[in-house]
Amino acid sequence: MVLVSMGSLLTAFVGFLLASPWTAVPLAAFLIATGYGWARHQALVARAVTFAMTTVTLLTLGLIVVFIFAESIPAFRYETASVFGVSVPGLGMFTQARWDAVSEPVRYSLLPMVHGTVMVTTIATLVAAPLGVAAALFIAEIAPPRVRELVKPGIEVLAGIPSIVYGFIGFTVINPWAGDAFALNGGSTYLFVGIVVGLMALPTVVSVAEDALTSVPDVMKNGSLALGATDWQSMTSITLPAAFSGVSAAVLLGVGRAIGETMAATVMLAGVPRISEPLVNVFYGYETLTSLIARGYGSANGVHESALFAAGVVLFVTVLCLSIGSQYIEARMRRRLGGVE
Amino acid sequence: MSRATQTALVRDDRTVYEAVAGSAVGVSGVAFALGLAALLDVVAIDESVAGIELSVAFGVLLLALGTAVVGFGVTSRLAYVDTNPQPSAGIVAAVAFTAVWFAAGAVAAGAWGLGTVGRLGAGAVLGGIGFATTAFPREDIGSTAPAGAIAGLFGLLLGGGVVGPGWEQVLTGYNATLFGDTVVPVVVLFASLVTGWSAAKAYGGFGARGRNVGAYVLIYLVVGSILTVLVGLVAFVTVKGLPGLFNGFDVGGAGLVRWPFLTNGAGLLADIAGVFPALMGTIWLVVGAVLFAVPTGVGAAVFLSEYAEQGRFTGAVEVATNGLWSTPSIVFGLFGAAFLIPRFGNQKSLIAGMLTLGFMLLPLVLITSREAILAVPDDYRDASAALGVSKWQTIRSVVLPAAIPGVTTGVILGVGRIAGETAPILLTMGGGVLPARSAAPDVLGGFRLSASPPFVSNPALLEATSALPYQLYALITAGLSGNIRNPQEYAWGLALTLLLVVLVFYAIGIATRYYFRRKLHQ
């Protein structure tokens, strides 16, 4: 029974992958088989079904990788450049700085967008990291319980404000103000996009860093306090060093959030794929990797669309590396703290 | 160290020194608040306060604060008061002041018309001086002199009218101009932060306790500003959005509520344009995503925490889950566009949006459910096993009911998050900018059975549909215009509706957690 059920589920999935109109048949077979099995051998079926559900996460990640990479291949092919006589697909996206999908020569360089993303992310990290760690210290160590019960949900709500609402405020309030206050040619600036994105990455930093800080055993803090150290001394010389890897993982995750933030950047930036002059000019705002995709997707086709997927690949790989890196750091910290106790 | 306990215990034995330092902290706070008000254009810097311009008054204030801060340091160094300084202000303060003075030097040299080399040189010289004064003298001088000097310098610039209301500086090459209106408040904000920190250290008598007080002042300020931003944001959207949201709202005679903004479409025929189609779109999106992600996520969490041996497989799933959690939403959108759209009629559709958001919701549900299941004490499982109950029965009747509060909270918070997502549905679901009421999806009535494959179809699921966040984005890209009476008011009403939908989910989620936690502790 379980075999029938799982087999038909697999068939349904393959049918879906092949976009077959017959997908509904094995899906129905799965539902019937599972329903029958549920009535007869509940424990066995439950185990099989939950296992199938577990594979969904792995499968999703795998499908994302396969489909995004597959769609981006034409763009990587198009932007082949040779280095030392060996032609490397996709290298042309990083060796010149021209993105123009319309007029000749059509080139798809990702450099301008990478530059924009780096600018926005740097500013956002400068905002989110110190503020986030300070707020996490406050919640984990300083605040009396009553205040903590207020501040913590407050920060969570901050995470809940939709990015498009931030973008809308940025578009209608901040951009005109910035254009006025600095006599800019149009109001889109990496500076303010970065600040807004930093505000959006802040809750991630706070909650992960706070988890890390509270996971430091109380024994260590109490020992320090018993020696006559002030609260701040215990924090800087005991809690923060012990939780250092967790806090840096929090900052890494915050950076990941900032890199992937889309709507605020799309709405607030001018949408010109160009590198600002001079490089560190925070008063220009052209385009980031995310806003490029969001703005361009509907109207693009062919190699242009594929180039957008290439931008997605760059984003995905970067953020996945950050995520895995921060997980590794966190796991190491858990092992070490576990050893201390 | 002994002094720390003394001052903490003997509260009313405040010296004059402490009182003055405390009031300097307070004055810095006032200056910070005023600077913020000036930056937000609540007060203009050329307004006159007690006969002098506000910017000059700011200058005088900063000069006084700077002098006072240097005074604290000198008084302490000459041992007029009993403080407890350490040999050096520490490497963090030294680096910070080096950076500050480097910037000051570079900016000053730039204003004098020196080139890049001159700027770097002047910056290096001042930065070096800043480092030396911070790092080498005893802490009471090291943490006050550079701070007081920078505040005093800014005070002289503002008070002497060098930088004031009419001042402007073109940033050549940057295509931007700095005006006094922005620079003066920013300078005041920064200088008051520095003097506030320094005075707080003096208040604590330097040393370990001084650093404690100084750090606490900064941290409280940070948390205060974060909460202010939060409240300000919500209040701002509320105030701007209320007129749109309640346009034409009234409670009719027979107890009927007319709320056209929520029940109308936005066609030419509607007298008051509303967001009904987008609201329905968001509701169906959430329903679809929950139907897909919650059973899958909870089932996976059960398998991972109850059945699976900790090993390579669970490790891989965990890494994949966390990886999915941090994957940018636009990448999910790309994935949905590449994977789902070709399989559902080759056009943007409601079901593609549902599944894309379901994929996003899945890791959130999995992570929180797993935590909730792991938090169920093993005693429960052991007791149930001791009664001879099978494993699955235990899971079904003991573990899952005990984990339900945690799972519910996680699901609600996750739903709040995806309900506001724009990027994925922008690529997978689409919809019109100002859809009429008839464009609202009719999912329940849309199911059709047919004799040819795929046998079941539902045109409502396969059509491009609008949702609240998408419609807001579409309005913005359309330049906040359209054939409705007041697009600005409409857009703000829409933003408020979206914010309310999301915040209601959050409020319910947080309240549920709070309720169950209290119940658990009773």
Tens digits of residue pLDDT in A32-60: 888 887 777 778 888 888 888 888 888 88
Q: Any chain A CB within 8 A of the CB of B232?
A: no
Residue B187: name the closest of B36, B67, B50 by CA.
Answer: B36
Residue A198's pLDDT is 93
Q: Are residues B83 and B97 in the same domain?
A: no
Asked, for residue B389, whether it belongs to a domain, the answer is yes
What is the model's pLDDT at position B11?
A: 44
**Which chain B residue has the Cα nearest residue A296?**
B427
How far is the alpha carbon of B21 from chain A, nearest alpha carbon, in Å? 20
B56–chain A Cβ distance below 8 A for any pair: no
Q: Give helix A303-340 / helix A289-296 axis angle, nearest 10°.
A: 140
Say how many C-beta atoms besides its own lie within 10 A of residue A266's C-beta.
29
A186 touches B at CB < 8 Å? no
Give the C-alpha separation, B369 to B375, whole Å. 10
Asked if the Cβ–Cβ distance from A316 to B331 is below 8 Å, we say yes
Cβ of A183 within 8 Å of Cβ of B179? The answer is yes
Minimum distance, in Å, between the CA of residue B255 and any CA atom of chain A: 33
The C-alpha atoms of residue A316 and residue A62 are separated, in whole angstroms, by 12
Query: Do B47 and B104 belong to one domain?
Result: no
Chain A nearest C-alpha distance from B182 (Å):
7
- The partner residues of B303 in beta bridges, in order of sequence, read none
Task: Assess whether B16 and B75 both reside in one domain.
Answer: yes
A 158-177 near B (Cβ less than 8 A):
158-165, 167-169, 171-173
The reply to whether B344 and B461 lie within a common domain is yes
Q: Do B316 and A43 touch (CB under 8 A)?
A: no
Q: Which residues in chain B have Cβ-Cβ distances shorter than 8 Å to A232?
A: 208, 211-212, 215-216
Q: Does B362 contact A60 at a Cβ distance shorter than 8 Å?
A: yes
Sign (positive or negative) of CA dihedral B82, B84, B88, B89: negative
Structure tokens at A38: 């549920």
Contact A43 B392 (CB under 8 A): yes
pLDDT of residue B452: 63
Whether B322 and A47 lie within 8 Å, measured CB to CB: no
CA distances from A221 to A146, A225, A243, B404 (A): 21, 6, 12, 34
**pLDDT value of position B453:** 61
CA distance, residue B423 to nearest chain A CA (Å):
7
* B322 to chain A: closest CA residue: A323
Q: Does A53 touch chain B (CB under 8 A)?
A: yes
pLDDT at B7: 47
Report the gap between the CA of A52 and the closest CA in chain B (Å). 8
The answer to whether the Cα torsion of A193, A195, A198, A202 is positive or negative is negative
Q: How many whole angstroms separate alpha carbon A207 and alpha carbon A246?
A: 11
Search chain A and give the residue with CA nearest B338.
Answer: A67
CATH number for the domain spanning B291: value is 1.10.3720.10
Q: What is the pLDDT of residue B176?
A: 77
Do residues B294 and B162 share a domain? no
In A, which residues are within 8 Å of B498 by CB distance? 162, 164-165
**Backbone φ, ψ for residue B171 (5° rounding):** -90, 100
Q: Is B265 helix (H, G, I), strand (E, B) or coil?
A: coil
**Mean pLDDT for all residues in chain A:** 85
| Three-state secondary structure string covering B355-376 | HHHHHHHHHHHHHHHHHHHHHC
Q: Which of A25, A163, A228 sits opposite B422 (nearest CB)?
A: A163
Q: Do A57 and B362 touch (CB under 8 A)?
A: yes
Same structural domain, B283 and B198: no
DSSP conformation letters of B468-508: HHHHHHHHHHTTS--SSS-HHHHHHHHHHHHHHHHHHHHHH
Q: Are A138 and B326 a contacting pair at CB < 8 A? A: no
The SS3 call for residue A87 is strand
A96-100, A292-296, B378-382, B419-423: range with lowest mean pLDDT: A96-100
Q: Which residue, among B7, B179, B226, would best test binding to A if mutated, counting the most A CBs under 10 Å from its CB?
A: B226
pLDDT for res A195:
92
* H-type alpha helices, B112-266: 116-135, 139-142, 145-159, 180-203, 207-245, 260-263
Number of inter-chain CB pairs under 8 A, A vs B: 294
Q: Is the pLDDT of residue A222 over 90?
A: no
CB-hemisphere CA count at 13 Å for A260?
35
Structure tokens at B234: 């919500």
Q: Is the ipTM of this complex over 0.85?
A: yes
The mean pLDDT of A294-320, rounded to a whole number, is 88
Where in the sequence is the domain holding B33, given as residue range(s)?
2-88+146-214
| A67, A171, A259 ranked by CB distance to B339: nearest | A67
Q: B53 lies in a domain?
A: yes
Check residue A194 and give its pLDDT. 93
> With an 8 Å Cβ cutoff, are A169 and B233 in contact?
yes
CB nearest B320 (choices: A61, A181, A182): A61
pLDDT given at position A189:
86
Q: Are B330 and B422 found together in one domain? A: yes
CA B207 to chain centre: 34
Q: Which of B159, B192, B214 is the last residue of a domain?
A: B214
Q: Is the Cβ pair B510, A19 closer than 8 Å?
A: no
pLDDT in the model for residue B132: 86
Task: Show which of B214, B229, B251 is a domain's final residue.
Answer: B214
A173-211 residue pLDDT tens: 888 888 888 877 777 888 899 999 999 999 889 988 988
Listed residues B78, B113, B136: the one ending a domain:
B136
**Domain match, B48 and B67 both:** yes
Chain B residue with Cα closest to A259:
B328
**Residue A112 falls in which region: left (phi positive, over 0), alpha (psi -120 to 50) or beta:** alpha
- Chain B residue closest to A130 (CA)? B222
Looking up tokens 């204030």, which residue turns up?
B61
Of A51, A309, A296, residue with least CA distance to B296: A51
Do B386 and B298 lie in one domain? The reply is: yes
Partner A contacted by B222 (CB < 8 A) = yes
Q: Which of B342, B343, B476 sits opposite A267 (nearest CB)?
A: B476
Cβ contact, residue pair B453, A165, below 8 Å:
no
Q: Would you say residue B499 lies in a domain? A: no
A24 shares contact with chain B (CB less than 8 Å) = yes
- In this structure, is residue B484 part of a structural domain? no
Flag if B330 and A312 touch (Cβ within 8 Å): yes
Nearest by CB to B327, from A228, A297, A316: name it: A316
What is residue B242's predicted lDDT score, i.e. its pLDDT?
86
B208 & B343 share domain? no
* Interface touch B307/A47, C-beta < 8 Å: yes
Task: Give contacts of A39 with chain B, Cβ < 8 Å.
Answer: none
DSSP string for B248-264: T-EE-TTSPEE-HHHH-
CB A182 to CB B472 under 8 A? no
Q: Are residues B42 and B18 in the same domain?
A: yes
Cis peptide before A278, with omega less than 30 degrees from 0? yes
Contact B506 A160 (CB under 8 A): yes
The structural domain count of chain B equals 3
**Residue whose C-alpha is closest to residue B360's, from B319, B332, B321, B331:** B332
Q: Does the residue B229 lie in any domain?
A: no
Give the pLDDT score at A315.
92
Residues of chain B with pLDDT under 70: 1-14, 252-255, 267-270, 443, 445-457, 520-522
CA B270 to CA B437: how far, in whole Å?
9
Which residues from A are below 8 Å from B179, CB to CB? Answer: 181-183
Nearest-Cα distance to chain B for A181, in Å, is 7
Interface of B with A in 237-276 (CB under 8 A): 237
Q: How far is CA B363 from CA A24, A65, B359, in A?
A: 26, 16, 8
B344 touches chain A (CB under 8 A): no
The answer to whether B69 touches B203, Cβ cutoff 8 Å, is no
Which residues in chain B have their CB less than 8 angstroms from residue A52's CB? 299
**Which residue is closest to B420 within chain A, CA to CA?**
A162
Q: Which of A46, A67, A231 sits opposite B338 (nearest CB)?
A: A67
Contact B303 A50 (CB under 8 A): yes
A133-161 confidence digits (pLDDT tens)? 999 999 988 888 888 888 888 888 888 88
In A, which residues are within 8 Å of B453 by CB distance?
21-22, 24-25
Which site among A49, A64, A169 would you substitute to test the B interface, given the most B Cβ atoms closer than 10 Å to its Cβ? A64
Q: Which residues pair with A81 in a beta bridge?
A: A88
Same-domain status, B6 and B106: no
Closest CB to B317: pick one of A57, A315, A316.
A57
